[in-house]
A and B are shown apart, each in its own frame.
Chain A
Amino acid sequence: MKHVMMRPRSLFLLVLLYGLLVTVFDLDYNSVFIDEAYHITMGRELLRGDPCPGCPFATGSPRIHPTLAAIGDIAGGIHGARIVSLVFGLGLTAAVYLASTLLLGEALGVLAAALFIFTGQTLYLSKLATYDMTAAFFLGASFCMLVLSTRVASERHRVFAIVFGSIALFIAAATKYLLPVFMPALGLYVLFSHGWRRTILYCVLPIAALGALYVAFEQFAPGVIVRGQIETYRVITVPLKTIFEWAFRWIAFVLLLAVFGVFHEKHGKKAAMLIALGSPIILLHLVTRAEQSVNKNMIFALIFLVPAAAIGVDHMARIFSSGTRSRAVRVFFAAAIVTIYWAYGVFNLKWLERQYPDVTPIIEFFDENGFDGMVVAMNGWDGVIYEYTLADRFPRAKWINLRDVDAADYPEPAFVEHVDFVVCEDLFYGKITPCEQWQEYIDRDFALVRNFTIEHSWGFTDATIYGRR
């Protein structure tokens, strides 16, 4: 019988195909998430040329991703917007593959790509129309360029690779203002690989030039947005032990494999370097104790940790095969570890898909019982979800926060504006402003219309809709 061996490149294409199929057939996994709705709404306004002063504060992504998401939305609704992330997700997988192949060889490159696509966060963020995957792609591309710069023979190509890497890092940072946190680590990589002149070329020159242009021409001053985000982080801080557990929950397995990689005879030092490169975002969360987006932000660490984990898998497979010289045995054990990782990733993916409320029942309620021009007040800031979802059906409907209509200082309890429906959801979007504080007005002027129980991966929440009496 002819012995058939698949070439690594074919395996890589299979990995991409897996990511594509798993994602593209499950774009309806949940109702629109608040950040998705913000991004797309903002993108639409940007495309129309309208200013959108509130959007940058809420999203931290002034232009790049919202515009792309809105284009996707125009082409295919929320599916189109999510497919934009899928494209970046697959592109990022390719960047991880390329960087790992250049660093570690083709077999480990494919292994890294497989681990990356099997990671729950990768697949989840590949179908979440937020800026995370876009930013991650450019960060990955920057790293890939840096690795490429150490491999190309021509001096000119080396400089090009570094400059392109710098530009990619700039775009990543302009997409999500959090990402300059990686610059010191990547700068050190360039310093150790190329010396201080190229480090300046990577870290200073293009980024300073592009940054100056950006600040000069950007209509939403980045400084204000960053300050706003820092304020938000200050509000949403948790104890160190909690943030420790939350942060490591998303990287624990990959980090465990990566630590094994450090003991790899041939690539151990590279594994250590990759762990160090991936650590800034983890340290940032631990130092600030900010829980906001911790699960999503770990994707940036994974770009570096996954190749280290691939080294770890190779090392573990050697250990598990008890020193046998048989390649087949090693491949078997590597495949077994990857299978465990895959199941772990699928579980995490399912968890992530249900971490945010599926508000489909609320949307369906308004679809059936709402009317154009209605005013719906809610105790969270999730009105943008309904605005986005029901805009075509009720273009004049208003979705506002209860605080915006609160008339507590009036002589008698009332809303300052006519409100047709009140939506109370106290455990997720409305957890900072529970409905309790308006319960008196609500009981007086409204009647309970519908009560929903929303199932999450972490428990249940209630959503209650009141209609005017």
Chain B
Amino acid sequence: MSAIVTLYYLYWRVTSTFNQQALFFSWSLWIAECFGAITTFLFFFAVWRPRYREAPPAIPGRTVDVLVPTKNEPEAVLRKTLLACGDLRYPHRTLVLDDGNRPAVKKLCEELGCVYLARETHEHAKAGNVNFGLAHSTAEFIAIFDADHAPLPWFIDRLIGYFADEKLAFAQAPQEFYNIDSFQHRADHEKKYVWTEQGLFYNLIQPGRDRWEAAYFVGSCAIMRRAALDDVGGFATGSITEDMLTSVKIHAKGWKSAYHLEPLAYGIAAETIHPFHIQRRRWSLGGWQVFFTANPLFVRGLTFPQRLCYLGSLIYPIEGFQKLVFYVTPPIVLFTGVLPMQALDITYLMHFVPYYALALFAYNEMGRGYAGYLLLEQFSMGKFVTYLQSFFSLLLPRRLRQFKVTPKGEQPSAPHALLAPQIAVAGGSVLGIVFALWMLLAGRRSDEFIIAVNSLWALFNSGLALAIIVYARSKFEQRRGDFRLFDSVPVRVGWDDGGKPVRRGAVAEDATETGLSIVAAGEIPKNRDLSLEIELPRVTVRATGHVKHAKTAAAGNDVVGRFGVAVTGVTGELDTLSRYLRESSVAKFLAEYSTRYRTYLDKRLAKEPERRERAPRLPAPLPASIAANGGRPALGAIRNVSDTGMLLASREQLAAGDRVAVEIAFREDAETLRGIVVRVVERGSDEYPEWVAGVRFENTGVDAINRIVAVATALSTLR
């Protein structure tokens, strides 16, 4: 219906509304609208019936080589990836393809048992590097990971089963990113919702394309059949987005592909607008190259649906021109009074509003809760010049089109000049509004409705631009190099108090290999060497550190504090901590965030109402000793508390109906809360198991509950 209305609207626009005195302006806006309609139709086509696959059983006894191309990524980032590759359970070999020819990486490979390969020349960028790796591989299958993408141990096991189909060329998993404070993420920590700019692609478009046998290889987090690669001459080198070009060639040869929607590897998303800009510019330039060199409309061997799906993925950089028209139209109208149509009156609105409302509704519903129209518009504002630049850089000689790796894992910084287009849009829009309103009030213009509508449009555009500017600027001065993963890890903190050893229980509510944010029921001194025993499930990591900043608050007679601790040395196994963070923390942390919102129809057709909290909950990350059914107490943590119950993170298995006694040690005494487990969710991994249990208070005095709620309330003031 939306498609029919859109077609009618576009027909009516072109036949009845053009301003004959401003034909260029009229055509520009109409073409921009048409482009929007075409991309929307292609989107509807691609996602009409997404295919969500169940992983088939792994096929044993195959040979797999894991390729990790790298150029200039920090060693610490690469180390995590290689550790993860080493932990892959399926028998394999890891080949590190270092285009940076760095001795430190060679040493790292020797330490971690990986094969180090480095080319003498570096032609064809990443594609050339991977082909170099292929030349040194004899395996039947190739798994490929970017240097910042650490696979989970079961990565190969989950995907290898798809290759029981001898015609399957590659199985692709989504690229997941754990740093949800990146430039491309928008996280609502209160509602536990995270939106990512690539969420629509990985959660919907790829499964949708998979239905049409057109899911494409994205350069990482995939397993490929060597025979298929050989069939197309290895990784394609005609474009800087070798992944898409390789996919086109593979599909054109009749090979099949599979997309498996399950997080199997976690990487680092572009932290600031600078790497984001570099990444998107490379992608769009690569897209243009594929468009002009291996246009899927004309490549032989592709099916019609495949052609449409690839077309949708290739023409998106034209959005740069489309958005430019949309951003400059309101200021032009406001400054000059010239309209790209005969009249902006109620007749126009009666055509436009139903068309636009219906198109938005359809897009939102077809987006299945991953679209986020406003945020996508915001990112379009952030990228439109990037796309324009990529188009015009096509006109440059090939030697000037450098392949740039997306910088990751470094202290982020960004040149302010990148925001100049958004500043120009915001400034031009606001000036246009002020100018037109002034003209209206001075009686020099009488097109009041035109001014009003275009002012609203300009205001919308400036809102998008301001959002990008504000968000990008907030990322410029990011304090931490590493994203800290929220968790509830019990930690024993010890220090020497004038010859007297002191030990205090605490909970690390976020952690990296270099720092912890811990909460303790009591004070921890600053400028004192601390010994830290980080109690991971089944293993304790010992480290040293010191408090860098502290905040404390009183709750009655109790004192609670939040302490930023710098880890100065890990006396135990650093890799164990890394492994835990990668395998358990990331999954637990991301599992708490929803990546999908409920669309209008979801809400209307929902059979069950949304789960509501019985009582408001307060985060209370406190160390606790948990004893189930009168058994032996085990170390755990309280996650949150309300006056009716609490949420526990336990290292021992709990089941619904268990009666638990939870002891919290304060500075002077301890408080015991009793209750019954009402629901349990298993989190973590096989190696680091954890159970999250909702407990309803029973046989617990009001004073005890009030005390813990008061502590939680005090803690909430320390944010």
Contact = CB atoms under 8 A, between A and B. Distances in A.
Interface of A: 244-245, 248-249, 252-253, 256, 259, 263, 316, 319-325, 329, 333, 336-337, 339-341, 343-344, 346-348, 350
B346 A340 contact: no
Interface in B186-217: 186, 188
A323 B452 contact: no
Given A259-B353, A320-B460, A244 B346 contact: yes
B374 interface: yes
Contacts of A322: 374-375, 378, 463-464, 466-467
26 contacts: A244-B346, A244-B347, A245-B345, A248-B346, A249-B346, A252-B349, A256-B349, A256-B452, A256-B453, A256-B456, A316-B460, A319-B463, A320-B462, A322-B375, A322-B464, A323-B186, A323-B467, A329-B466, A343-B451, A346-B441, A347-B440, A347-B441, A347-B446, A347-B448, A348-B448, A350-B443
B459 interface: yes
Nearest to B449: A252
B461 to A, nearest CB: 9
Contacts of B375: 322-323
B3 interface: no
A252 B346 contact: yes
Contacts of B460: 316, 319-320
Contacts of B463: 319-322, 333
Contact of A337 (B349, B357, B459): B459
Most chain A beta-carbon contacts within 10 A, residue among B353, B451, B455: B455
B437 interface: yes
Interface of B: 186, 188, 345-347, 349, 353, 357, 374-375, 378, 433, 437, 440-441, 443, 446, 448-449, 451-453, 455-456, 459-460, 462-464, 466-467, 470
A22 to B, nearest CB: 13
A341 to B, nearest CB: 7
A341 B452 contact: yes
B186 A245 contact: no
Given A321-B463, A337-B459, A348-B448, 9 more contacts: A249-B346, A259-B353, A319-B463, A320-B459, A322-B463, A324-B470, A343-B437, A343-B451, A346-B440
Which of A259, A322, A329, A344 gathers the greatest number of chain B CB atoms within 10 Å? A322
Contacts, number: 80
Given A343-B440, A347-B440, A324 B452 contact: no
A244 B437 CA distance: 26
A-B interface, 10 closest residue pairs, ranked by CB to CB distance from nearest: A322-B467, A320-B463, A248-B346, A343-B437, A340-B455, A347-B448, A344-B452, A253-B452, A347-B440, A322-B378
A336 B459 contact: yes
* Interface hub of B374, B443, B452 (most chain A Cβ within 10 A): B452
A340 B452 contact: yes
A253 B441 CA distance: 17
B456 A316 contact: yes
A325 B466 CA distance: 14
B273 to A, nearest CB: 15
A223 to B, nearest CB: 35
Contacts of A337: 456, 459
B8 to A, nearest CB: 20
Contacts of A259: 353
A54 to B, nearest CB: 38
B641 to A, nearest CB: 25
Nearest to A253: B452
Contacts of A343: 437, 440-441, 451
Contact of A323 (B347, B374, B433, B449): B374
A106 B449 CA distance: 29
Contacts of A325: 188
A437 to B, nearest CB: 35
Contacts of B346: 244-245, 248-249, 252
